[in-house]
Structure 1
Amino acid sequence: MTVTIPQLSILSFTEMASSISEIHQAHAQLLKTGDFYRNTLASNKLISFAVSNPDPNTLSYAHSVLTHITTPNSFSYNSLLRAYANSLTPQNALFLFCQMLQGPVFPDKYSFTFALKACAAFGGVEEGRQIHGQALKLGIGFDVFVANTLIGVYSRSGCFGVARILLDKMTNRDVISWNALLSAYIEKGFISSARRIFDEMEQRNIESWNFMISGYLSHGLLEEAKSIFDSMPVKDVVSWNAMITGYAHASCFGEVLKLFEDMQRKKVRPDSCTLVNVLSACAHLGALGQGEWIHGYIDKNGIGIYGFIATALVDMYSKCGNIEKALNVFRNASKTDISTWNSIIVGLGMHGFGEKALDAFSEMLAEGFEPNEVTFIAVLSACSRSGLLNEGHKMFRLMVDDYGIEPTIEHYGCMVDLLGRVGLLEEALELLETRPLQEAHVLWESLLSACKNHGNLKMAEDVARRLLELNLQDSAGYVQLSNAYAALKRWDDVSNVRQKMKALKINKEPGCSMIEVDGVVQEFLAGEGLIIEQI
């Protein structure tokens, strides 16, 4: 629908515009009245709207507007420079910057900043040096905005010495100056150098602390990250999320829940990243009560259940044993994606509902979602748990032939487990022998367990021998072979295996289980005695 603009000034209309089509109408009106060529302010409004639009095609439109303005100003150029620097084609900012150097509108300190930001984006250190020279000629080389961006260009290109010299020469450096160097050290993986800069900083802001926490966590240094975190004078949600995510990635799920409780006591509002990681921790620990509390928090605060949140809730309820609630969350999610479908298929398979998992897979296809590698792991695992041999074969062929997905070790593992469960040990062995022994270590353990369950001692001995050839210190092969002998009451052979384990000083990993009591997760370890650890 065409909007007429007689009663509104063109400036008011461009400010009220909500779509690029309305901007085009304003552009047409400016052309009609002749104001486009002489009204720089109105033309700048067109450029500002176009560069703020997420559609990358509007950048070329904004550039076209700029080239047709009779008297553009620095704002006209800088708006487009900034947009190019933040785009997928930052090199275009340099072309525009070179045009400015020829006049009549010459670059100011903001133009230099945006051009340098573009250099940092594509690693153009040589281009950055040239712009640095131009800035020094114009006397703005040590302007705080220009110098800070230069530090980022040099340090992100590995020229830390030049960046440090520039920092030391700045008379009005600020925390952003230090952060530019600090973040680059962390980005390049030089955590020790980053720590020295951090300790030397004249002032720090919350980003400085968060940079160090993220740097330590990226190197798996949880204690060092926690030390920085505990020392922070003020923490924001990014700080808490960094630590929670770090502990989650390290499988320290008990620490995740403790941090979340501390976060609640400090009255820091969690975001979706926090909730997803905490729900994942609840799922791994079987902490249903805490997971339900988080679900209630989500509902109470009107947080939409879709995407990662929906997936995390489905996964939590499934792993905590409540498949009905998992299904309820899934069916009532405002929006589902492939991850949500994968999660419910995994949950149904985990609870022994193999046929329902296959029904969910068919429903997913009917909804127009294309399965990925994880989908087929979920489906094949469901077939394995329910002993659906024919369906498992069909899904494996579907994955390879129809969707062109190359099977991974996880897909082969599901098939070996399925064949082992139904007693097709020879077929499982044939499938295994197509994979390199080193890669398929865990699969051989699965086949060894199946041999024990089906009483095939001859194959069990052969599989155990292959496992021990791969790793003489691995307890799994010894334990499974010992159990196979015990099932056939061959006690002398059991004793021989255990004596060999003692001689080689091989210890079986203790079993453990977890249970939630009154909102507290208890872990039980089986060994010489019973050890109870509160999480």
Structure 2
Amino acid sequence: MSACSSSSLPILLFTERAKSVSEIQQAHAFMLKTGLFKDTFSASKLIAFAATNPEPKTVSYAHSILNRIETPNAFTHNSVIRAYANSSTPELALIVFREMLLGPVFPDKYCFTFVLKACASFCGFEEGRQIHGLFMKSDLVSDVFVENTLVNVYGRSGYFEIARNLLDRMPVRDAVSWNSLLSAYLDKGLIEEARALFDEMEERNVESWNFMISGYAAAGLVKEAKELFDCMPVKDVVSWNALVSGYAHVGCYSDVLEVFNEMLNNSTEQPDGFTFVNVLSACANLGSLSQGEWVHVYIDKHGIEIEGFLATALVDMYSKCGKIDKALEVFRVTSKKDVSTWNSIILGLSVHGLGNDALEIFSEMVYEGFKPNGITFIGVLSACNHVGLLDQARNLFETMNSVYSIEPTIEHYGCMVDLLGRMGKFEEAEELLNEIPADEASVLLESLLGACKRFGRMEQAERIGNRLLELNPHESSGYVQMSNVYASNGRWDEVMEMRKKMRAERVNKKPGCSAIEIDGVVHEFLAGEGLIID
């Protein structure tokens, strides 16, 4: 049967457009029924299309098809090996590689590149070393792609000396050769070694600079990242995003906005979704509504689809800037939501005291088939807290584990302890506190201590306060809280005693910090400082 026969063309076109494993199965069934599956070309195309489908199930299905081909070739094996190497289970590529070694087809240079990439993905040093040996024994000539991947395998596995020796012995090196070792250094947090290699590199490309800028940013070294960024001969959107995310990572939100404005004014590169997410996050943290609204207008003007993380960032920005109605509007018009989008509006409604609305959104989320996660439950438990729904909070707290297999964290316990304290259920709150490791309980003890003060429960307040001071003798919060409790009951001798203990432990109360937006400019100041406006 001819590989280009007209009878095979329609089914191959159908297979190429397949979006799910069920459509791949339909094509497979048709080929078996018509005898096309015996044609190696048609069968190879079926495997290739299945292997390139993003669904994990289709990759394993492609593997099962491969095992049923009478005369497989290097292309069929390579398609599956490459698919596994790019998947969340790269180690499965080795199974296909071993099966290939047992058959009539010997691996070519592309196959070695793909299987070594899989080894790099799961840091398979021993497997990579054995495959390296097999390649050296083969009749294949030295190949820069294979050797680049080997450098990556050894580097990501932490064997930097071997990786460097291999790099030095390569007869032909390109920017990818150097980048393979550079990225491995940065992945392990070896910033100094990476910079030394970067300075030594015979050939750099934009990716080389981006690797270093991202590495500095990830390590919190934003000054060094900015210096390198300024020296960069050619920048792309990844370069700008690396610097923007670096400033966002260390909380320098004003710098995020400065870099964004510089990108718009002095660069031919256009911001993408990743840029906008970081910029909107900065606006949210600064409370800069006017700048956040400007970004929203820019997104709409340029026809950028608002979905997923971008929708989440917009909802979060409007919520944190006090525009919960606008946050809800963005949420409603977003057609492609993910769990983070649902979480953002639930948390936003909860913070704005709209607990019942948040719980309604949660019910809608579950009804539409989205699976809640730990952040979702922080939102709904907070919602219950804001409107005093104790029974519903208890039920949700129990549901976390029993229905969704989510182990409660300190944040979930915090919502429950705070609500129980507000409702005067101190014994139940203390029982819940006993389930939490002592080193994580401090902030919850502070919350319960404040509730004791409001209800005038001195005996429990002293017990909880003493426990808090035992855990954190050098933190000011416990002393301040107990001083306030004693002061509210007129016990001034105990207030003075608390202050003496603070001095004895050399504990100082840290000043608060606030931010305010005036005429589109964000001003930050410490408690006790004056704000001077021109």
Please classify the TM superposition score into its range, dividing by the shorter chain length.
0.7 to 0.9
The SS at the match of 2:514 is: strand
Cα deviation code 1:193-233 (max 9, x no counterpart): 22221221111112212222333334333333333333322
> 1:474, CA displacement in angstroms?
0.6
Q: How does 1:229-308 map to 2 (within 5 A)?
A: 229-265=229-265, 266-308=267-309
Aligned 8 A contact 2:59 2:83 in 1: no
CA distance in 2, matches of 1:12, 1:289: 55
Equivalent residue, structure 2, for 1:515: 516
Report 1:131-146 matches (<5 A).
131-137=131-137, 140=140, 142-146=142-146
Larger deviation, residues 228-237 vs 318-327: 228-237
Relative to structure 1, is the Cα distance of residues 28 and 371 closer, same or farther in structure 2, using a 3 angstrom cutoff?
Answer: closer
Match of 1:112 in 2: 112
1:347 CA drift (Å): 1.6
Other-structure match for 1:472: 473
Alpha carbons 2:449, 2:481 under 8 Å: kept? yes
Provide the C-alpha distance between the structure 2 equivalents of 1:397 and 1:120, rounded to a whole number of angstroms.
42
1:332-371 CA distance string (max 9 Å, x none): 2213333222222222221112222223333333333343
Q: 5 Å matches for 1:296-445?
A: 296-445=297-446
1:530 and 2:533 correspond: no
Q: Determine the structure 1 residue equivalent to 2:150.
A: 150
Please identify, of 117-126 and 379-388, the stretch whose mean Cα deviation from structure 2 is larger: 117-126
Which whole-Å CA distance do the structure 2 matches of 1:329 and 1:50 have between them?
A: 37
Distance in 2 between residues matched to 1:512 and 1:395, nearest whole Å: 35
Distance, in Å, in 2 between the alignment partners of 1:11 and 1:429 is 71
Query: Equivalents in 2 of 1:93, 1:532: separation in Å?
Result: 69
Counterpart contact for 2:66–2:76, Cα < 8 Å: no
Show CA shifts across 1:14-72 (max 9, x none): 4675334785588569847xx965xx666654554344334214523662575336xx5
Distance in 2 separating the partners of 1:356 and 1:211:
44
Q: Structure 1 residue 210 and structure 2 residue 210: aligned?
A: yes
Contact 2:101 2:107 in 1 (8 A): no
The answer to whether the 8 Å contact 2:80/2:93 transfers is: no
Point out the more displaced range, 109-118 or 168-177: 109-118
CA contact (8 A) 2:347 2:379 kept: yes
User: Which amino acid letter does the alignment assign opposite residue 498 of structure 2?
Assistant: V
5+ residue gaps, structure 2, are 19-23
C-alpha displacement of 1:147: 1.8
Give SS of 2:524's match: strand
What's the CA shift for 1:451?
A: 2.5
Residue of structure 2 in register with 1:181 after alignment: 181
Distance in 1 between residues matched to 2:463 and 2:330, nearest whole Å: 47
CA positional deviation for 1:303: 2.5
Q: Is the 8 A contact 1:94 1:118 kept in 2?
A: no
* Alpha-carbon distance in 1 for matches of 2:433, 2:28: 63
* 8 Å CA contact retained: 1:377, 1:414: yes
Q: In 1, distance between residues paired with 2:82 and 2:526?
A: 58
Aligned to 1:59: 62
Q: For residues 110 and 464 of structure 1, do their structure 2 counterparts lie closer, same or farther at Cα, with a shift above 3 Å needed? A: same
In the alignment, structure 1 residue 98 sits paired with structure 2 residue 97: no
CA separation of 1:496/1:107 partners in 2, compared to 1, >3 Å: closer, same or farther? Answer: closer
Contact 1:62/1:80, CA 8 A, preserved across alignment: no
Task: State the alpha-carbon separation in 2 of the partners of residues 175 and 518 from structure 1.
Answer: 48
Separation in 1, partners of 2:396, 2:112: 58
Paired position in structure 1 for 2:21: none
Deviates more, 1:80-89 or 1:504-513: 80-89
Moved more, 9-18 or 372-381: 9-18
For structure 1, the residue ranges without an aligned partner over 5 or more in a row are none
Contact kept, 8 Å, 1:523 with 1:533, in 2: the verdict is no
Which amino acid counterpart does residue 460 of structure 1 have in structure 2?
A
Instruction: Report if the CA contact (8 A) 2:449-2:461 is conserved.
Output: yes
Is the Cα contact below 8 Å between 2:314 and 2:327 reproduced in 1? yes
| Cα distance in 1 between the residues matched to 2:285 and 2:402 | 34
CA contact under 8 A between 1:140 and 1:146: conserved in structure 2?
Answer: no
1:305–1:85 Cα change, 3 Å? closer
Partner of 1:169: 169
Q: Please say which of residues 410-419 and 15-24 is displaced more in the overlay.
A: 15-24
In our comparison, the structure showing a higher alpha carbon Rg is 1
In 2, Cα distance between equivalents of 1:78 and 1:180: 22
Whether the aligned pair in 1 keeps the contact of 2:151 and 2:181 (CA below 8 Å) is yes
Task: Find the aligned partners of 2:124 and 2:427 in 1 and give their Cα distance.
Answer: 59
Q: Is the partner of 2:438 in helix, strand or coil?
A: coil
Classify 1:142/1:166 alpha carbon distance in 2 versus 1 (closer, same or farther; 3 Å): farther
Distance 1:64 1:532, change over 3 A: farther
State the distance in 2 between where 1:309 and 1:259 align. 19
- How far residue 98 of structure 1 moved from its aligned partner, in angstroms, is 1.9
Contact 2:63 2:80 in 1 (8 A): no
The amino acid across from 1:330 in the alignment is: F
The TM-score, its normalising length taken from structure 2, stands at 0.85
Deviation sequence 1:66-89 (CA, Å, 0-9, x none): 5336xx5x5565545544544532
- Output the CA distance in 1 between the equivalents of 2:428 and 2:49: 64
One-letter code of the match for 1:505? Answer: R
With 326-335 and 207-216 compared, the bigger mean Cα shift is at 207-216
Q: CA deviation at 1:136?
A: 3.8
Percent identity reads: 56
Equivalent position SS for 1:183: helix
Note the C-alpha offset of 1:532.
Answer: 6.8
- CA distance, structure 2, for counterparts of residue 218 and residue 377 of structure 1: 27
Q: Partners in 2 of 1:431 and 1:162 — Cα distance?
A: 53
How many Å separate the matches in 2 of 1:43 and 1:479? 75
Residue 130 of structure 1, CA deviation? 4.3
Per-residue deviation, 1:423 = 3.3
Instruction: Give the match's secondary structure for 1:515.
Output: strand
